[in-house]
């Protein structure tokens, strides 16, 4: 089993970025993954602590957000965003909040709580787990979902971090509580990732076109991928081995 994709999402729910390599540190999320989030006008989140996803603009409520792609310049902390229906944007999220909010506003339903501010959480990011997590995704499980759905599906519907290939769908669910060596890092599988309506949106168009929650229910659950904690720091690169210990 080897790593086939490495993805980060600097601004939660607003774009994904492929990487060739990432250095993981014990006790934290993937560097620059979900460091920022767009808090809506009724959110109580202020960046002083982790907050649940209900506080933020996200793909389950605004499917058009799923079509955003990103490129992040770490040295300048500049985020480049693209969307098929919007002009390209380059911003520093901490300094250009007004420009970022203006850019994303047409992509969200106007009858829901609207984007209001951008907040930052260093060290652990706004992942959807109460602990700092990295998601580990199995391509074989994705192919099983495609087969059940009857057509090809983008892996970006799952917004995962580390993707590996195997010949055993759902084998990863048996790894809960186990340690997994990925490259030179070691992860501990903590829990399955429960899924939401964001998976219905096509990452190319931002339009809902597939009932993946319904597809998952055919296996008696609505889960895809593992939420893991990094317990030993190390580097993960494309084609690195994934070995349950």
- What's the pLDDT tens digit per position in 213-233? 999 999 999 999 999 999 999
Report the pLDDT value the prediction gives residue 147, as an integer from 0 to 100.
Answer: 98
Quickly count: other Cβ atoms within 10 Å of residue 174's Cβ: 11
The fold of 2-27+129-244 is M1 Pyruvate Kinase; Domain 3 (2.40.33)
Residue with tokens 């998601």: 135
CA 207/CA 101 separation, integer angstroms: 21
Mean pLDDT over each residue of the chain, to the nearest integer:
97
Mean pLDDT in residue range 115-128: 94
Sketch the domain layout of the chain as residue ranges.
2-27+129-244, 36-120
Model confidence at 67: pLDDT above 90: yes
Model confidence at 123: pLDDT above 90: no
- The answer to whether 216 and 155 have CB atoms below 8 angstroms apart is no
Model confidence at 204: pLDDT above 90: yes
Closest among 110, 222, 238 to 164, alpha carbons compared? 238
- The answer to whether 236 and 219 have CB atoms below 8 angstroms apart is no
Range scoring the smallest mean pLDDT among 119-128, 164-173, 228-237: 119-128
> 80-104, pLDDT tens digit by residue?
999 999 999 999 999 999 999 999 9
Mean pLDDT in residue range 182-190: 98
Mean pLDDT in residue range 69-85: 98
Please state the pTM of the whole predicted model.
Answer: 0.96
Residue 220 sits at φ, ψ, to 5 deg, of 85, 20
């Amino acid at each position: 089993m080897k790593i086939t994709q490495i993805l980060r999402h600097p601004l939660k729910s607003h774009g994904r970025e492929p990487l060739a390599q990432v250095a993981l540190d014990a006790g934290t999320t993937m560097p620059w993954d979900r460091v920022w989030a767009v808090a809506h006008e009724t959110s109580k989140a202020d960046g002083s602590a982790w907050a649940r996803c209900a506080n933020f603009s996200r793909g389950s409520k605004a499917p058009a957000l799923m079509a955003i792609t990103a490129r992040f310049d770490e040295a300048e902390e500049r985020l480049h965003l693209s969307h098929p229906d919007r002009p390209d944007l380059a911003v520093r999220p901490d300094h250009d909040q007004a420009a970022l909010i203006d850019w994303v506003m047409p992509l969200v339903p106007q009858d829901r709580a609207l984007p209001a501010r951008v907040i930052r959480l260093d060290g652990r990011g706004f992942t959807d787990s109460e602990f700092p997590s990295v998601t580990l995704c199995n391509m074989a499980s994705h192919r099983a979902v495609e087969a059940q759905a009857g057509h090809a599906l983008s892996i970006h519907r799952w917004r995962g971090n580390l993707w590996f290939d195997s010949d055993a769908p759902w084998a990863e669910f048996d790894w809960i509580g186990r340690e997994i060596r990925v490259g030179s890092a070691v992860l501990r599988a903590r829990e399955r990732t429960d899924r939401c309506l964001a998976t219905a949106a096509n990452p190319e168009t931002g339009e809902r076109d597939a009932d993946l929650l319904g597809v998952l229910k055919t296996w008696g659950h609505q889960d895809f991928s593992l939420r893991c904690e990094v317990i030993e720091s190390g580097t993960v690169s494309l084609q690195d081995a994934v070995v349950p210990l």
